[in-house]
Amino acid sequence: MVNPLIRKLEHFARLTSGERQALERVVQTTRRLGPREDVIRDGDRPRHVNLILEGWACRYKQLEDGRRQVISIFLPGDLCDPHVFVLRKMDHSLGTLTPVLLAEIPEAAIREISAESRTLSEALWWEMLVTAAIQREWTVSLGQRLATERLGHLFCELFMRLKAVGLTSETSCEFPITQADLGDAMGLSTVHINRTLKELRAAGLIRLRGRQLTIPDFAALRAASLFDPAYLHHERDPSILHDD
C-alpha cells in the first residue's frame, strides 16, 4: 500500500523518487492502538509527530465535568501537527475513534527531510496550513451553519479527504464513527444528530448504513451544505475537486 502521506502531499507537489523514499523512511516506527485510546494527553510533552496510517483519530478538549469537544478528525495520511515538538506540553489530547495504526516520527527525521528537500519542507507547511483552513471551516459551521448544513458539509469534506488518499469507491466511503462522535464534533446532541441524519436521508442526499457512507449526488449535497472545496487546497490535482 502506498504511504497515505505520500498520496496526500502529491496533491500539492510533484515528488521525486528520492523524496518519496525519504517519506517512506520516516514511517519505520509504528504503533497500533484500539478504539477510544489516547495517543497523547493534554499536558503531556510531545516527543514525536504522529502520522495516521490506518484508521480514524481526533483532536479533542475535555472539560473537568467530562464534556468533550472534538476539534478535528484525523484520517489516513494526516500528520498530527508536523512541528508539534516545538511545544513544551500539549494543550489538547489526541485520541483514536477506531483501531489505528500510526507512525511515530522523531523530531530529527522531520528536520532532516525538511533540510534535504525544499519541496518536502513546503509540502509539510502546506499540510499544516490546510489543517488550519479546515479548522476555520469547522468554526464557521459551529457558528453559522444549520444542523443539516453542518453535517452535510462535514460529509463532503471527509469524502474528499478520503478520496485524496484513495480511500473512496465511486460514491461511497467507510464511515466508522458514531453519532455521539458527530455530536461532539458538530456541537449537537445525539438526538439532534439522529434527527438531522434522518432529514438528509429523506432528502436523498446521503445513505448511511453500518460503517459506510454513500453520497448519491455529490453536487446536490455540496449545494445543500454550502460546501466550497477551495479550502482543502488541492492545487496540483484539480480532478480531486470533481465527481468522477
The predicted structure's pLDDT at residue 191? 97
The predicted structure's pLDDT at residue 241? 41
The predicted structure's pLDDT at residue 1? 59
- Give residue 123's Cα distance to chain centre: 16
Contact 83, 110 (CB under 8 A): yes
Element (H, E) at 144: helix 118-144
- Give residue 92's Cα distance to chain centre: 16
Q: Which CATH number fits domain 145-241: 3.30.70.1560, 3.30.70.360, 1.10.10.10, 2.60.40.1930?
A: 1.10.10.10
CB atoms within 10 A of CB 68: 17
Angle in degrees, 0-180, between the axes of helices 179-186 and 190-202, rounded to the nearest 10: 100
Distance CA 101, CA 32 (A): 5
Element (H, E) at 181: helix 179-186
> Is the pLDDT assigned to residue 240 strictly greater than 70?
no
Residues with Cβ < 8 Å from 53, sequence gap 6 or more?
A: 3, 4, 27, 30, 76, 101, 102, 103
Mean pLDDT, residues 143-155 taken together: 97
Torsion sign (Cα): 22, 28, 33, 38: negative
Mean pLDDT, residues 142-160 taken together: 97
Mean pLDDT, residues 165-182 taken together: 95
In this predicted structure, which of 32-41, 151-160, 166-175, 232-241 has the lowest mean pLDDT?
232-241
Residue range 85-140, pLDDT digits in tens:
888 899 999 999 999 999 999 988 999 999 999 999 999 999 999 999 999 999 99
pLDDT: which is higher, 186 or 1: 186
> Is the pLDDT assigned to residue 161 strictly greater than 90?
yes
The band of 244, judged by pLDDT with boundaries at 50, 70 and 90, is very low
> Which CATH architecture best describes the domain 4-128?
Sandwich (2.60)
Distance CA 201, CA 189 (A): 18
The band of 239, judged by pLDDT with boundaries at 50, 70 and 90, is very low
Residue range 65-97, pLDDT digits in tens:
999 999 999 999 999 987 888 888 999 999 999
Residue range 10-25, pLDDT digits in tens:
988 889 999 999 999 9
Buried b (16+ CB within 10 A) or exposed e, 116-147: ebebbbebbebbeebbeebeebbeebeeebeb
pTM assigned to the model: 0.92
Domain parsing of the chain, residue ranges: 4-128, 145-241
Residue range 197-238, pLDDT digits in tens:
999 999 999 999 989 999 999 999 999 999 999 999 986 554
The predicted structure's pLDDT at residue 28? 84
pLDDT: which is higher, 157 or 46: 157
